[in-house]
Structure 1
């Protein structure tokens, strides 16, 4: 993980790539959940078996790894929640993006987390 700090412009410029990786996680997560349920239930799945389950897990790990390389913090994958380290008025914050959001419009203080989420000024 890097100690990268983003400007709002830098974070927003990465959004198309961020969205692609979020969408990949969401798709793999859904298939993984369905396949895992079918395997636990002992019934055949059109999604495959244990090797495919491992492949879905690997896809999620790979996407999470992309975020880490970029310096973006992944706070969760169910739902996908990512934070871009940044500063606002000299204070350490995280620009915060939830999987359903298409624009970067929220932030929270670094020491508060999601509960302290506010709209960007």
Structure 2
């Protein structure tokens, strides 16, 4: 059975999630830069295949750690995560997207991101 988060429980995880998301964002940017540089000039100051593999592994490690906690990772560019929850008897997802400073949104499970509303 999927883990169900209370809003307070999900909010308590946010400082760590925002911190680790910063690592994922940096790794994602480095990967993009390496790929662009290697394609356009044949080399990158950020490295080559070993660095690419290490960055990919770090991103996978972060995503896996979140998933193991019951957090749903919807995307990494931008970072978008959902916490399964129930509000007023309705299945919802507490929703956070890269750039937000706190967990302040939710959407019904069946509506997804377009149905986002501010958390009460």
Per the alignment, in what secondary structure is the counterpart of residue 102 of structure 2? coil
What is aligned with 1:75? 74
Spell out the pairing of 1:96-115 with structure 2 (5 A cutoff): 96-115=95-114
Spell out the pairing of 1:33-72 with structure 2 (5 A cutoff): 33-72=32-71
TM-score, length-normalised on structure 2? 0.96
What is aligned with 1:119? 118
Partners in 2 of 1:39 and 1:120 — Cα distance? 44
Instruction: Give the drift of 1:43.
Output: 2.9
Instruction: Give the drift of 1:79.
Output: 0.2
Per the alignment, in what secondary structure is the counterpart of residue 21 of structure 2? helix
Q: CA RMSD in A?
A: 1.0
Partners in 1 of 2:64 and 2:22 — Cα distance? 14
Partners in 2 of 1:98 and 1:88 — Cα distance? 20
Instruction: Report which stretch shifted further, 85-94 or 49-58.
Output: 49-58
What is aligned with 1:7? 6
Per the alignment, in what secondary structure is the counterpart of residue 14 of structure 1? helix
TM-score, length-normalised on structure 1? 0.95
